[in-house]
Amino acid sequence: MRAEELERMQALDEHAGGKGISAVSYVSVGSGHAHEVQGAVVDESLVCISVNGEELATFMCSPFKLDQLALGFLYNEQLIDGRQDVRSIHLSKGESCVDVWLHDLEFRRPERKIVTAGCGGGVTFDDLSQQHEPLQSKKRASADQLANLMRQMHLGANLYQQARGIHTAALGADEQILVQVEDVGRHNCLDRLAGAALLQDINTVDRVLLSSGRISSEMINKARRLQTPIVCSRTSPTALSVALAESWNITLVAYLRQSRMRIYTHAERIVTN
């Protein structure tokens, strides 16, 4: 390996703190020519979350800022209402489990667990067949504002820019990104987003939620919990996510790329001229 390539790989590892992305070499083939490339791939680990000493859920995720992920998961699953419910969070020695201790020592793990369509098999304890009240919001945004927020999110996706293969999600105000996260799982991104917002005291109500990944039912359910009335994705929704967004008064925008988009539900919130 040439000296400059070695330095670049070392810089990648230092940036990721040994996690997030890893340096690799691969053979690139194009137009009949093959050559070795020093590049990077994203990390992925099996991590569990335990509450009051009892395992709650295990899933694949990016192995960094696991306190953020655990806190957001508990919030999105309506198992906590905020940081005030948490007594302490500890990362196990092997960094394979996040131990969360609540002030409520009577906490009992929900009986029903649903494996969702999320990358790596997402987990939720919420029953989407239950009725939830529609979001009450007067939030509006222009098509240009949404396109600008999506552009900002793409440019701010640091791990994606270096290695690809990772999702990102962001919470936006009218003109700026308030908080942004990355993870190999698109559903994990929304849990991380919730956790980051709680840790930074950022209000999620009436914000714009942006995601690089497909919007499926569990994604819309997390958006409902965060009370974000506008949800945007660079890619597609599912039929169930469209039905839930319609029922819960959430504006669902998909295929948001540059100035183009598809508004599937509650288009009255988006100013297009």
**Catalytic position from the list 97, 119, 189, 232:** 119
Rounded Cα gap, residues 226 and 262, in angstroms: 22
**The pLDDT value given to residue 113:** 59
Q: What is the per-residue pLDDT across 64-111, written as a single tens digit (0 to 9) for each?
A: 999 999 999 999 999 999 999 999 999 998 889 999 999 999 998 887
Q: Does residue 191 have a pLDDT over 80?
A: yes
Q: Which residue has the tokens 């999110």?
A: 153
Grouping H, G, I as helix, E, B as strand and the rest as coil, residue 182 is strand
pTM comes to: 0.87
Neighbours of 245 (CB within 10 A): 26
Q: What is the pLDDT of residues 208-223, one digit of tens each?
A: 999 999 999 999 999 9
- Render pLDDT for 21-54 as a digit per residue (tens, 0 to 9): 999 999 999 988 999 999 999 999 999 999 999 9
Indicate if the pLDDT at residue 135 is higher than 90.
Answer: yes
3-class state of residue 195 by DSSP: helix
| Closest by CA position to 153, among listed 173, 174, 180 | 180
232 is catalytic: no
Q: Does the pLDDT at position 127 exceed 80? A: no
Q: What is the 3-state secondary structure (H, E, C) of 203-236?
A: CCCCCEEEECCCECHHHHHHHHHHCCCEEEECCC
